Chain A
């Protein structure tokens, strides 16, 4: 099933394994946070720095936002862990419907 029990029943084995896992977790958190800060800086710089061509900027910062959100979902919200099949389906269905709504409102509506 999707919710595996990680405990083996032997506390010492479990703890050692868990310590290693949490150190690894912490490393991922710090890496993803630095990546997110970095992406945010680039996005603000792209707008603040006038040299970048105007038509290119919105698309570029939107791409940065999407990458940052993927970090947030998979690392901070733990979607990379096991047992997130249903959550992925929910959130991606939501994103798909959302995308269609936005597409509709920005293309069909003309006033």
Chain B
């Protein structure tokens, strides 16, 4: 019997199984005023989106986290399904941002745009694809709350509204749909109270800290109106009040001269003090 020569079998290279193709994460693109953009980012911490943002008057950046897209840092990635335009301070820049998004995005992508300083309907007149725009109440502090107001325009399709509802739910926010008017609901209410506070300060009715204490202890406000103005920024309050006065054309939105002076002078009650102190320390 012929001895069978043992022959080793060639070692088969273990080829790891091919991973199943991962579904591409939907991308979200955010652009706007620094404070609002920075305050909306934490909402995406646990959401499954590829996140890209750009701050007005600053260089393009992607988020340095697992949410960032790798490789080429595109201005607007191709697979963006939702874009948030969160500018209130410079409406010319806002218009350029929206026109840029409208040109760059796939027509099926949705644009959610802050409509506290200009109505969503007016913004839609700047776009070729009007159906995809929905307004929202975006101001610093307010953008971080658990509820966001949205305002569809007469051109917004039902599909867009449904998509926006699902989008905000996916980042843990409740929504309330309101009619499209400058300031929507809470920004309008709050800025009106801040304006009246500025009149009270101008008339020297009480000291700033006393007004805050009065409204918290006597009226159940969670923050005093001056604290709120500091937190939101008088520049943002100014933008909303100016839009309300222009849009609604009523004397009751006439801005307190003190507020106007402080906002245009780039100063506001406490925040300026903090910033000045920081600068002097530096």
User: Do A and B form a real pair?
Assistant: no
- Please report A residues at the B interface, Cβ cutoff 8 Å: none
- Using a CB–CB cutoff of 8 Å, the interface residues on chain B facing chain A are none
